[in-house]
Amino acid sequence: MVAVLESSPLQRRKDVLVLGATYEPLEQVGWRRAMTLWVSGRVEVVAHYDDRVVRTVRRALPMPAVVRFFRSLRRDRLAVKFNRDNIFQRDRGRCQYCRQTVIKREATYDHVMPRSRGGKKTWTNIVLACKACNQLKGNRTPDEARMQLAAPPRRPRYLPDLWSIRTTSHTGTIPTPWRPFLGMDAVGKARE
Ligand SMILES: [Zn+2]
């Protein structure tokens, strides 16, 4: 019984960042959904907007900006599709060999264990690579080519994650209260 009324034209936006129990960013939701979760006792509010309120029958509350689940969720029902877009996202748009940022349309996808040697197209064998590194590596394993992977490739547990929230925010700017939870500084730059 969340009797919330709010007259702002912003009400259809997804203004609330949802964190998992260990503060990992999970998704963005509208404030109504966030209030429902809060009233049902499943989340705590960890940050508010200073300049927005949600009106209930009895009082006005600051609008939540970030909420956190008390218990961890089962996310495995949301299996992440294996495709180029999601590999790009998993690898944060960086070549996994030289760590440089790669423009999406110039991205190539490297078989860690080369295809010619039985390497499969799987989450654990495909990584994002820049053209130069991909050519340099050729039909060799990373060891043979002396090219170290930034991280062992894994199947992601869920999307969207921190990086996709950062880059696909519909507003184009990340709300200030979200920033500490997305590894950003106060002006919205990524700390990396
Ligand atoms: Zn590279």
The torsion of the CA quartet 29, 91, 100, 25, rounded to 10 degrees, works out to: 30
CATH number, domain containing residue 112:
1.10.30.50
Q: Is residue 34 part of a domain?
A: yes
Q: Is residue 189 part of a domain?
A: no
So what's the pLDDT on residue 190?
61
Q: Give whole-number Cα distances, 92 to 8, 89, 132, 192, in Å.
A: 35, 5, 18, 12
Q: Is residue 88 part of a domain?
A: yes
Which residues make Cβ contacts (< 8 Å) with residue 190, sequence separation at least 6? 166, 182, 183, 184
Residues 71-107 have pLDDT tens digits of 876 654 446 778 888 898 889 899 999 999 999 889 9
Residue 166 and residue 140 share a domain:
no
So what's the pLDDT on residue 5?
38
Distance CA 108, CA 131 (A): 6
Q: Are strands 60-69 and 16-19 parallel, antiparallel or unpaired?
A: parallel
So what's the pLDDT on residue 26?
79
So what's the pLDDT on residue 170?
47
Residue 137 and residue 167 share a domain:
no
CA angle 87, 88, 93 (to 5 degrees): 145
Q: How far is the CA of 145 from the centre of ligand 1 (A)?
A: 13
Residue 137 and residue 169 share a domain:
no
Which residues are placed with Cβ below 5 angstroms of ligand 1, an ion? 95, 97-98, 130, 133
How many domains, in total, are found in the chain? Answer: 2
So what's the pLDDT on residue 101?
94
Rounded to two decimals, the pTM is 0.50
Residue 90 and residue 140 share a domain:
yes
Q: Which domain holds residue 47?
A: 9-75+158-182
So what's the pLDDT on residue 158?
60
Q: Is residue 127 part of a domain?
A: yes
Q: How far is the CA of 156 from the centre of ligand 1 (A)?
A: 21
Q: Which stretches of the chain score pLDDT less than 50?
A: 1-11, 76-78, 169-170, 192
So what's the pLDDT on residue 85?
82
Q: How far is the CA of 80 from the centre of ligand 1 (A)?
A: 25
Q: How far is the CA of 121 from the centre of ligand 1 (A)?
A: 20
Q: What are phi and psi of 126, to 5 degrees?
A: -115, 130
Name the token pair of 115: 């295809």
Q: Give whole-number Cα distances, 189 to 29, 77, 118, 160, in Å.
A: 22, 33, 41, 19
Distance CA 127, CA 121 (A): 10
Which residues make Cβ contacts (< 8 Å) with residue 50, sequence separation at least 6? 62
